[in-house]
Amino acid sequence: MGLSRRFLNLIVDNRIPGAKSLRCIDLTLARYKLFNTTTPAALTLNGNGNGLKKRMEKICLPSPIFNLGAPGERIHMFPALERRAFSLDQSGRGLLLEADTSRLVVMPNLHKPKLEPIALYIPGAEIDLDDLDGGGGGTLFIMDRIAKPQEADYLFEALVYRMICSSYLSKSWDCQLLPPPPPYVVKCGVDFLKIISYGLVKGGSEICISIDGVGTYCFDTVKHTWIEVGKWMLPFQGKFEYVHELKLWFGFTPNDGHFAVADLSAMDEYLQPQIRHCWNELDESLIQGWKQIRDPQLVNLGSAKFCIARFFHTGDFGDGLSGQNVSVLTGVEFAHANVDHENIGLIKHKSRCHKSSCGEETITAVF
């Protein structure tokens, strides 16, 4: 089974403070391949996999397609359609970057800048990649991951590609304020609220989030209404992904960052989802002594295949000059482990790494 996606987007911190670049690697090229030509026979339901020691091949960064810079050294990047990405700076100004066409689309400013934004992109019903203004259309939902309840009015916004008014002859991007999750409205008696996990459920029609110590909530992306699902937390940390072929959700466990799967299709007030399986896709001997420097990231490549990105430093945290930053990209695949489809197994393919010393270009995000 082949990949649904050919390209993987890399966000790279450049040598200049506050500068980032968007680069794309072609997963069909031998020097970037994360998947074996023939699928390995070994499946694992839990744990470390087939026990084979995996060698990590190094990758070199491709040339940048876009270089961006912003005062204050803060640019946030989010995925759109394949080879396209949104950028937001600390002033709430946005761009849509089209790596396949080398075009830039200027987005409307947010009503209020976001300090630590999270975002989810939902494609439009009709995708037109040749639309010069829309860049494929759709909606980008944006929230501040950590915010004060008293600032709730500007917590949640969306960049929407639509007809703004009847006098316009074509669609354009618009910025819309959306209602905040219920805990921000009732205040909850705390100074800050933190979103610890988020993703799409119910076929992409709802956004589901867990707010640390408060509960889990779903937002209807059509009706623009929130409901409380339960007082419990989702079993993932950060963003999670749905795989249509398996009808399951994948992400990382909160405590140890293991790659994991859960079923979120039957959530209710009394039924907290549980992790069904978890795996460690990296051979521990390959990363022995390395320290994780940012949360792992997950890219759904289609056909039940993923790229898992993990980020490490090889030296002491207090001595950034002595070690290297290492970004590890691993290709994994899932398959049903038995004929009744009750269990799924992980197939580990290849791991590749990019190493950089202090002041050199470093991969900081993958999507």
| Spatial distance between the Cα atoms of 190 and 45, rounded to a whole number of angstroms | 41
The pLDDT of residue 39: 58
CA dist 169 and 23 (Å) reads 34
With a cut of 60, say whether residue 13 has pLDDT above it.
yes
Q: Report residue 319's pLDDT band, with 50, 70 and 90 as the boundaries.
A: low
pLDDT at 41 exceeding the cut of 60? no
d(CA 194, CA 217): 13
Average pLDDT, the chain: 86
Place of tokens 């490549």: 301
Q: Summarize the confidence of residues 161-174 as an average pLDDT.
A: 79
**121-135, 158-172, 185-199, 253-267: range with lowest mean pLDDT:** 121-135
Cβ atoms 296, 310 nearer than 8 A: yes
- pLDDT of residue 218 exceeding 60: yes
Tally Cβ neighbours within 10 Å of residue 312.
20
Task: Give the whole-angstrom CA distance, residue 306 versus residue 250.
Answer: 10
Q: What is the 3-state secondary structure (H, E, C) of the chain?
A: CCCCCCEEEEEEECCCCCEEEEEEEECCCCCCCCCCCCCCCCCECCECCCCCCCCEEECCCCCCCEEEECCCCCEEEEECCCCEEEEEECCCCEEEEECCCCEEEEECCCCCCCCCEEEEEECCCCCCCCCCCCCCCCEEEEEECEECHHHHHHCEEEEEEECCCCCCCCCEEEEEEECCCHHHHHCCCCCCEEEEEEEEEHHHCEEEEEECCCEEEEEECCCCEEEEEECCCCCCEEEEEEECCCCEEEEECCCCCCEEEECCCCCECCECCCEEEEECCCCHHHCCCCEEEEEEEEEEEECCEEEEEEEEECCCCCCCCCCCEEEEEEEEEEEECCCCCCCEEEEEEEEEEEEECCCCCEEEEEC
Region 79-92 average pLDDT: 88
Between CA 312 and CA 327 the distance in angstroms is 6
Give yes or no for residue 19 having a pLDDT over 90: no
Task: Please report the pLDDT score of residue 188 as a whole number.
Answer: 63
The whole-model pTM stands at 0.89
pLDDT at 305: 92
In this predicted model, which residue has the larger pLDDT, 125 or 255? 255
pLDDT value of position 270: 85
Higher pLDDT, 131 or 10: 10
Give the pLDDT mean for 247-276. 92
Q: What is the pLDDT of residue 214?
A: 93
Q: Pick the residue with more confidence: 309 or 172?
A: 309
Residue 9 tokens read as 């987007």
Stretch among 28-37, 215-224, 288-297, 318-327 having the lowest mean pLDDT = 318-327
Q: How many CB atoms lie within 10 A of CB 29?
A: 10
- For 236-261, what is the mean pLDDT? 93
Give the β-pairing of 325-336 and 344-356.
antiparallel
pLDDT confidence of residue 42: 54
In which band, very low, low, confident or very high, does the pLDDT at 51 lie, cut at 50, 70 and 90? very low
Using pLDDT thresholds of 50, 70 and 90, give the confidence band for residue 47. low
Of the pLDDT bands very low, low, confident and very high (cuts 50, 70, 90), residue 52 is very low
Q: What is the pLDDT of residue 44?
A: 57
Task: Write the pLDDT tens digit of every residue in 267-286.
Answer: 888 889 999 999 988 888 88
Measured torsion, CA atoms of residues 361, 364, 78, 279, in degrees rounded to the nearest 10: 150
Domain 7-366 indexed as CATH 3.30.460: no
Q: Which amino acid is at 269?
A: E
**Residues above pLDDT 70, as percent of the chain:** 85
Pairing of strands 275-279, 259-262: antiparallel
